Amino acid sequence: MNIQPVVEVRNLTKRIRNRNIVDQIHFDLFPGEVFGFLGPNGAGKTTTIRMMVGLISMSDGDVAINGHSIRGSFQEAIRHVGAIIENPELYRHLTGMQNLKQFARMANGIPQSRIDQIVQLVGLSARIHDKVKTYSLGMRQRLGIAQALLHAPAVLILDEPTNGLDPAGIREMRQLVRKLAAEEGIAVMVSSHLLAEMEQMCDRFGVVIDGRLRTTFALADLQNQSETQTLEEKYIQLTEVVSYA
């Protein structure tokens, strides 16, 4: 079976003042997989993600979404992308439903039935008519994801979605992400430093160090030759440069 990638990142580079803070990053994302984007602070993850969604320009390379170039056919490409890069933009004095309706009006042509379907999917049905200011951070994140899903994107990109969430919120986020990939066939890309969490959430990983993609590997690759490594052990091995022993 030959599955087409949803996202093709090709030699993506960001140069600022003669320094490549993202340096020829190259990977694919496939439908229905959760891809964990890992790396130390300042490695270049957010910069990569911001280029992938057109928030900042690329110095070199390109990103194709469903075959459409972010550089060449931005509107066509971005149609297939849902993303939460910083905190989701929400009106706190409106209800969750009012927020979604407002967003749907701006996006044009999203029927109420789609909104209802998404509310159910993100598990907010019981509280959707309450004001957002009464929501927990986890609920606000899920409402943000609902917004990002309204236009039925093929890929969902989440930069540190579990930041600041309590253990229950983290668990709900993980279950939601897994469901979106498994049941909706969405390709999900998640960046995070919570390795134990990422090990449970993701199918495949990419590790960025100093702007370069050091390696990609599958969750299954952690169990190898009768030896099992945790994601944390593998990550430390890959990123360790100085021994303090």
Site residues, ligand ATP (CB under 6 A): 16, 21, 39, 41-47
- Residue 203, judged by CB atoms within 10 A of its CB (0-12, 13-18, 19+), counts as middle
Looking up tokens 């999917």 gives 121
- Residue in 4, 39, 36, 5 with CA at minimum distance from that of residue 23: 39
In the bound complex, what is the minimum distance in angstroms from residue 20's beta carbon to ligand ATP?
10
DSSP letter for each residue of 71-98: TT-HHHHHTTEEEESSS----TTSBHHH
Q: How far is the CB of 234 from ligand ATP (least distance, A)?
A: 18
Dist CA 6 CA 65 (whole Å): 6
HSE-CB at 118 with a 13 A cutoff on CA atoms is: 24
Pairing mode of beta strands 7-16, 34-38? unpaired
Measured from the CB atom, the residue of 18 and 75 that comes closer to ligand ATP is 18
Q: Which is nearer to ligand ATP, 121 or 213 (CB)?
A: 213
Q: How many residues does the chain have?
A: 245
Please, what is the minimum distance in Å from the beta carbon of residue 156 to ligand ATP?
Answer: 18
Nearer to ligand ATP by Cβ, of 15 and 101: the residue is: 15
Instruction: Report the nearest approach of ligand ATP to the CB of residue 46 (Å).
Output: 3
Distance CA(52)–CA(81), nearest Å, equals: 9
* Shortest distance, position 145 Cβ to ligand ATP, whole Å: 20
Nearer to ligand ATP among residue 46 and residue 141 (C-beta): 46
Q: Name which of 58 and 132 has its Cβ closer to ligand ATP.
A: 58
Query: Which residue number, 44 or 153, has a Cβ lying nearer to ligand ATP?
Result: 44
Q: Is 238 helix (H, G, I), strand (E, B) or coil?
A: helix
Calculate helix-pair angle for 96-107, 112-121, nearest 10 degrees.
Answer: 130
Longest dimension (CA), the chain: 61
Q: Nearest distance from residue 194's CB to ligand ATP, in Å?
A: 12
CB of 163 to ligand ATP, least distance (A): 10
Is the CB of 36 or the CB of 96 nearer to ligand ATP? 36
**Is residue 103 within a helix (H) or strand (E), and if so which, with residue range?**
helix 96-107
